[in-house]
Amino acid sequence: MSFALGVLPVVLLLLGFPIFIVLLASVSVALVFFMHMPLAALHQNMFGSINAFALLAIPFFVYAGELMGRGSVAQRLVDFVQAGVGSVRGSLAVTTVGTSAIFGAISGVSAACVATIGRIMYPAMRRAGYPEHFAAGLVTAVGAIDIIIPPSIPMIVYGAAAEESVPRLYAAGVVPGLMLSLMLAGYVMWFARRNSIGAGEAFKFDHFLRATARGVWALGMPFIILGGIYGGIFSPTEAAAVACVYAAFVTRFIFRELGWRDIVEAASVTVLFSAQILIIVACAGVFSWLLTVNQVPAAIVAWLQSLNISAWTFLLTVNVILLAVGCFLDPLSAILLLTPLLVPLVKAFGIDTVHFGIVVTVNLAIGLFHPPFGMNIFVAQSVLGLELRAIYRGIIPFLVIYLIALVLITYIPAISLGGMRFLLGVN
């Protein structure tokens, strides 16, 4: 059995087989050769994993982001943040951070953030005299905030895998996301001051009002999503569907930038992206069921308890594993593969599963731009035509900032849980 559930998936994963096939191979071999169970369990569990209303939030949020990402929404957000930032030293870099944070509250797909914001901000920063490696590193790294600030697709997937509430996870992601944004903004301001990079235009209230008026429809999206969920009006899935209709309405009728064909095209892109994820969700559901039936998590818990390690050490180990995994695997696949194994251990150590969900998300967010294989590195390379060397060099200081934030978020649960309790109004 350890061959089917341990050796086989690792070997196939390393050989580059599609992840859903890796999981399917593992469960099929276990069911056919090692277990005496009806084979119908394979179909039942696969179908049952997808037969969940909460999972609809994934394609809905992707679609809303896809619609808002087309046209001038990003430019309007940039103008709004830039007008608000005013003459702060390093205003363009601060605008990049601020716009990405707001974009994160609209989209939830990190690569889209890097491509959309990067296309606007990278040339602007270069024209303003920012070094190539700094601008490249910033636009590549800042997109990772997107999956920490709600709505976050990885949090929905974690919620499904760990049987944890998505609104609680979203509420817990707000403060870590904002904290990271402030840390990044602080660093870029310090960098600009040290390198005497020019400040922006002085703050002008009428200019700010104009930019706000242009951006107000785009800024309305986070209010609908988060206000709807925490106002008790919608479930996350309903908030996502309302966000889709809002995005289609704004881009079609207010901005007049998308035609019906674009709206269908965006749906088509969403279907393909969602299918990539959901087929893994389906197969991971069977894999997770097999692990539970064979008492694998319980055996690992017992083994760890026999080692007498502390929760502190456990979290450190998990962080190292997740950072390593995040360098090679996309966040959603990593969550689906590891959550069924890790969550029973987390519970055994008395760690809050919401707090752990945020730790997992931040770890995998770092993996998105961690050299050498972080996905956002290649997005920045292809969209902005940058050299890998410049990106790698530029990423390092931002990587350090993210790692400091990760340590704080891991060992100070109040950063995530405090925000959650405040937003949900619970003790």
Tell me whether residue 112 or residue 280 sits nearer to other proteins (CB atom): 280
**Quick one: 55 or 258, whose CB is closer to other proteins?**
55
Neighbours of 106 (CB within 10 A): 30
Q: Which of 181, 109, 122, 216 is nearest to 152 (CA)?
A: 109
CB of 395 within 8 A of CB of 140?
A: yes
What are the residues whose beta carbons fall under 8 Å from the beta carbon of 272, sequence distance 6 or more? none
Q: Any idea which residue has 């997808």 for tokens?
A: 50
- Report the alpha-carbon distance of residue 15 to residue 48 in Å, rounded: 29
| Min dist. Cβ of residue 219 to other proteins (A) | 21
Strands (E), 283-362: none
Min CB(55)–other proteins separation in Å = 7
CA angle 333-292-362, nearest 5°? 35
Q: How far apart are CA 277 and CA 286, in angstroms?
A: 15
Q: Write down the residue that tokens 């430019």 correspond to.
A: 75
Tokens describing residue 149: 């600030």
Contacts with other proteins, residue ranges (CB under 8 A): 12-21, 24-25, 28, 39-40, 42-44, 46-47, 50-53, 55-56, 59-60, 63, 233-234, 237-238, 241-242, 244-245, 263-265, 267-268, 270-272, 274-282, 328-330, 332-333, 373
By C-beta, is 182 or 245 nearer to other proteins?
A: 245
Nearest CB to other proteins, comparing residues 66 and 146: 66
User: Minimum CB separation from other proteins for residue 242, in Å?
Assistant: 6
Q: Cβ 380 to other proteins, closest distance in Å?
A: 18
Cβ of 210: how many Cβ atoms within 10 Å?
Answer: 14
Minimal distance, residue 232 CB to other proteins, in Å? 12
User: Does 413 sit behind a cis peptide bond, omega within 30 degrees of 0 on the bond before it?
Assistant: no
Residue (63 or 287) nearer to other proteins, CB: 63
Least Cβ distance, residue 268 to other proteins (angstroms):
4
Tell me whether residue 46 or residue 415 sits nearer to other proteins (CB atom).
Answer: 46
